[in-house]
Structure 1
């Protein structure tokens, strides 16, 4: 029997943050991770000689962000890329209308103004919404009030649907009317040319992380917990469960006794979205050198609608597009070559023969990943922001939860995972953890190890 002060289940951002803070405070901690790597939904594929972030990519808004402060303290390089939150404007975007024709500056400006006005009306409709209203309900009411002609309304309707898909991985009619209330972005956004998973990898260095340990059962009592894997048992005074919401909903992790409704209720009510990435590398760039995004509006962008230029990471012309919500679930069931061909067809409808055959591609299947069963959480109809925080527990002072789904202020982000990990550690220690000291400890250990 392996005995510890605290067991942490999951070596994603929240798990390694909790474990690092507890170990720094002198606790005996083991991290049990089912995958063969740390990072969880932060997964940087480096097999091609450069990183491809198959999971999380962005810090969404660096102003006042403790996550951004950690990135800076660790000296991790970033690239400014301020469109990861599906903005309508603000950076160079090549917009194509519903017929697949490139929009000029005047048409693009009108489009941006249309969305801004519709969003203003949408905020009012959300504020006046009732329980049971979906995000689809409130967007339709806002569009009805807009007074725009039908074609312009159709383009905004499509934009609203895709915004929900990209931000939540969900169908707009399944999202609660308040599902994007916490979606504000303060300051620029950044991506990571060395790969985002550098962050959890460096935090976890020196921790007792047991890879390939798939936890099947968590038993709690007044004296502590027993955590069972396939062929081993671990005992501790407490446990911090950081597996994604999708895993909790799938029921592959058993709790004995069963979870109380204060935690089981949020698990049932919250939604877990699917958001899959498709990276395509091309022999030549066919889009504008200074464009951040290619975006097809209306009918032209019914399925594939936004392509993000991430060429700066590899130095090779590369576009990133997404398949999210019901479309994402459908696409992850198809062979990769069919997905690539479909994306290329959509691009050629905009650029014609200038679109060459891709020289490489990467495609994710997060909804089929047994260790995540989806991409990130959202407010499904019938849930509330309080459900995120209630999910954190603790239960009987021995069972804690952390992860993006447990942080109501900005769920579905790496920041949420980081902050929830800190919260779990502080609840266990009974005191605040200084984030400056946390970052300094990481760099000090690296210097001692000769990094």
Structure 2
């Protein structure tokens, strides 16, 4: 049986970060990856001459962000695109009223002020929330405190529902009251025209990454860890397990002995979301040259309510929308043409005959990926923010869990994955390691 210092399971950003830092410290490392590529949920499609990030796209705030520093060091030019956190304004957003007419600028500004008023109240309401409160519970209390008429409250209620879906791919009643506590952005948000996958590719350089290695069993004890795959078993003093929450919960990967109560409890209060991308390319930019985002209010926006203009990335007229939460479940099994027809019915409602047919459509299906089982994890009702860190509690001093769901401050992001991998490496080395070594070794 092959003997290593550390086995890293998963070649996403968390696993590659841990492996790169451990390798740099002179440890014998192998990274086992089930897919035929590195990156995990960072996945860039380069077919048909297009560059499309089908997984992670944004850095939500570059200030003090290690992913921003790493991407700069690895030669990944960004484009500023600050619409990723569902803010009500700040960039040109075309708002459409429930009847399909575009809101005048003064009405759009008034609506944005209403959202900010509720958000200001919401912070206080969440601080006073009960353990079993949902995000619906706290938003309803914040809305009631405004003493508005029902029509005015309904518009902001919709916004809060849509924000919950777009931020966590969950219906508002399923998300814990504290589920959006991390919803803050420091600095510009950016995307990468050259593809986000260049980050994991750079992190993987020089590492022993073994693709097509599906791990079926992890056995841990005081003597170390044994990892079993179809290619055989490997033994190591320590292991870093970076598979998503959905895989940990799915049953295809056995952990023996079972996870300790603290870790298992945290895992049970998190769940994978439903959050899929729909990317549509068009012959022309029929929505206009000065629109960052399009948002539709009212019942017609229950399924498709927001579109983002990605044209500046490559010059091809492109809109991105999301099938999130209930919508993602509703379209499960639809082919791309049916999804596109549903999306276009709403765009034609807003833009009429100018909304021409798309030249191409791409729809993701992360929920159906056996090595993801969703896009990222969220806090269910009854969960607390501590559950993220509890999930990363070292097990027997030999097994370390990492990944976006194990980082409290900004879960569900690439920075969270990177920082969790960094933490795992430091725990194994029992010493502080500057995270800058990830890119200073390049």
Determine if the TM-score, normalized by the shorter chain, exceeds 0.5: yes
State the Cα distance separating 1:300 from its structure 2 match: 3.1
Counterpart of 1:36?
A: 36
What are the equivalent positions in structure 2 for 1:244-283 lying under 5 Å apart?
244-283=244-283
Q: Deviations over 1:174-193 (max 9, x none)?
A: 11111111111111100000
Counterpart of 1:4?
A: 4
- Kept in 2: contact 1:348–1:355 (CA 8 A): yes
- Kept in 2: contact 1:272–1:377 (CA 8 A): yes
Alpha-carbon distance in structure 1 between the residues aligned to 2:167 and 2:196: 19
- Kept in 2: contact 1:329–1:367 (CA 8 A): no
Counterpart of 1:448?
A: none
State the Cα distance separating 1:18 from its structure 2 match: 0.5
Alpha-carbon distance in structure 1 between the residues aligned to 2:225 and 2:307: 47
Counterpart of 1:303?
A: 303
Alpha-carbon distance in structure 2 between the residues aligned to 1:382 and 1:230: 38
Counterpart of 1:243?
A: 243
Alpha-carbon distance in structure 1 between the residues aligned to 2:423 and 2:340: 42
What are the equivalent positions in structure 2 for 1:80-95 lying under 5 Å apart?
80-95=80-95
Alpha-carbon distance in structure 1 between the residues aligned to 2:350 and 2:164: 24
Counterpart of 1:449?
A: none
Instruction: Name the SS of the counterpart of 1:140 in structure 2.
Output: helix
Alpha-carbon distance in structure 2 between the residues aligned to 1:89 and 1:311: 19
What are the equivalent positions in structure 2 for 1:286-435 lying under 5 Å apart?
286-435=286-435
Alpha-carbon distance in structure 2 between the residues aligned to 1:73 and 1:314: 22
- Kept in 1: contact 2:17–2:438 (CA 8 A): no
Alpha-carbon distance in structure 2 between the residues aligned to 1:65 and 1:214: 32
Counterpart of 2:14?
A: 14
Give the stretch that moved more between structures: 106-115 or 63-72.
63-72
Alpha-carbon distance in structure 1 between the residues aligned to 2:436 and 2:255: 36
State the Cα distance separating 1:155 from its structure 2 match: 1.1
- Kept in 1: contact 2:57–2:192 (CA 8 A): yes
State the Cα distance separating 1:330 from its structure 2 match: 2.0
TM-score where L is the length of structure 2: 0.98
Alpha-carbon distance in structure 2 between the residues aligned to 1:222 and 1:126: 42
Instruction: Name the SS of the counterpart of 2:48 in structure 1.
Output: coil
State the Cα distance separating 1:411 from its structure 2 match: 0.3
TM-score where L is the length of structure 1: 0.96
- Kept in 2: contact 1:5–1:237 (CA 8 A): yes
What are the equivalent positions in structure 2 for 1:122-161 lying under 5 Å apart?
122-161=122-161
- Kept in 2: contact 1:97–1:300 (CA 8 A): no
Alpha-carbon distance in structure 2 between the residues aligned to 1:172 and 1:371: 26
Q: Deviations over 1:244-286 (max 9, x none)?
A: 1111111211011111111111111112211100000011111
Q: Deviations over 1:336-365 (max 9, x none)?
A: 211110001110010000011110111001
Instruction: Name the SS of the counterpart of 1:146 in structure 2.
Output: coil
What are the equivalent positions in structure 2 for 1:80-229 lying under 5 Å apart?
80-229=80-229
Q: Which runs of 5+ in 2 are unaligned?
A: none
